Amino acid sequence: MAETDIKKGLAGVVVDTTAVSKVNPETNSLLYRGYPVQELAASCSFEQVALLLWNGELPSDDELAEFTAFERAHRALSPELKQVIDALPDTCHPMDVCRTAASVLGAQDPTAEHSSKEANLAKAKSLLAAMPAVVAYDQRRRRGQELVEPREDLGYSANFLWMTFGEEAAQPVVDAFNVSMILYAEHSFNASTFTARVITSTLSDLHSAVVGAIGALKGPLHGGANEAVMHTFDEIGIRQEETAEEAEARAKAWMDDALAQKKKVMGFGHRVYKNGDSRVPTMKAALDAMIEHYDRPEVLGLYNGLEKSMGEAKNIKPNLDYPAGPAYHLMGFDTPTFTPLFVASRISGWTAHIMEQLEANALIRPLSEYNGPDERHLS
Ligand code: SDX
């Protein structure tokens, strides 16, 4: 039998069109509905970008006001969902809490089985509004802290930080967090988004597709990489008394050793971008702002040491998770909370793709080439 040209991991395979975003490795660029993501990160709120991804256009002032009012009114963690989260052991991963919460929110939603564009857009908005309280409360309960109720006078990012830390974050921190939410929002047919589209292609519901996407994002080859980056920094050791140069030297030695052992170092490389992730410069600037705000030059040393060593040894560039991890650490998030932050943001992109998949749907069902035993019989 002629050997079929199998594309493992669907690498390089174009399986459908999308108008949501354009990832272009040739120009090292990322467009959300045609807008360069760097421009959006520099001048928009995450709320505006979510509406752009869903509707295809940036919102008018009235549209933004209407969504903002809805989002702020639907942030609170319901007593029932809090009860479910409290029943989950501290030993489970925070991504399991996100996955469970998305499932509970679907089960509680009377419109869960409604599949119109309007119904799915409403569900997307509700999920986006509800997830920050889940992520914030889960970190607090693991620290033995009480739930902090949302504040309707704060924007999405400022309120997310308020619910997590119980105090108003400084503006530079809010700005850096907002940039990270915009950069994490959408990235065409990545593994978790494609998972959501596969589930949607069977005409299953939006919440089921998001639950599946959360499961896919958890893996360290995908969204879990931002948490893994922090494990690398912790393994090298963050020493606040060190100079950037001293930290850089230790980080370089760690990476040289890791690569000598053929280790895969999370936060580097990308399936699509082969000359660097288009989002890294913008997220690195946000990290630099956090390093300056908290006066932590040794973190920059570690960042530079790892990047230089990987670049010299394998010419592999960082991806978005690499600057995002230390930035979230400096903001005060616990490491296992990092990928749930990615979930909160990517709900916007996932649900935009779910609605697009339904518009011109085709069941996603690829072929496989059998390589098991030849036909045989019981007697
Ligand atoms: C995200 O798809 C998306 O858009 C995802 C994402 C999004 O926004 O949704 O951008 C978010 O998931 C970013 C990626 C986060 N993952 C990581 O940081 C995990 C570490 N990276 C690698 O596992 C890897 O780079 C992948 C999985 C991201 C991409 O892998 P590919 O395209 O399948 O390439 P590969 O693993 O076959 O590597 C090619 C070569 C190999 O060398 P050889 O074995 O051929 O000698 O590059 C090497 C790899 O060993 N390599 C690495 C490496 N990444 C690639 N070596 C060490 N460390 C790494 N991180």
ipTM at complex level: 0.97
pLDDT tens figures, 160-183: 999 999 999 999 999 999 999 999
- In CATH, what is the architecture of 16-221+335-359? Orthogonal Bundle (1.10)
pTM above 0.95, yes or no: yes
- The domain spans of the chain are 16-221+335-359, 225-331
Average pLDDT over residues 156-163: 98
Please tell me the predicted confidence (pLDDT) of residue 192. Answer: 98
Do 16-221+335-359 and 225-331 come out as alike in CATH topology?
Answer: no
pLDDT tens figures, 125-148: 999 999 999 999 999 999 999 999
CATH top-level class of 225-331? mainly alpha
CA 268 to ligand 1 centroid distance, Å? 6
d(CA 111, CA 290): 41
pLDDT tens figures, 54-101: 999 999 999 999 999 999 999 999 999 999 999 999 999 999 999 999
| Catalytic status, residue 270 | yes
Return the ligand 1 atom nearest residue 186 CA: 8
pLDDT bin (cut points 50, 70, 90) of residue 2 is low
Which residue is closest in CA terms to ligand 1's atom 3? 190
In short, whether 316's Cβ falls inside 6 Å of ligand 1 is: yes
| Catalytic status, residue 321 | yes
| Catalytic status, residue 16 | no
Residue 1 pLDDT greater than 90, yes or no? no
The residue whose two tokens read 């931002």 is 226
pLDDT tens figures, 181-217: 999 999 999 999 999 999 999 999 999 999 999 999 9
Q: Which of 109, 138, 207, 270 is catalytic?
A: 270
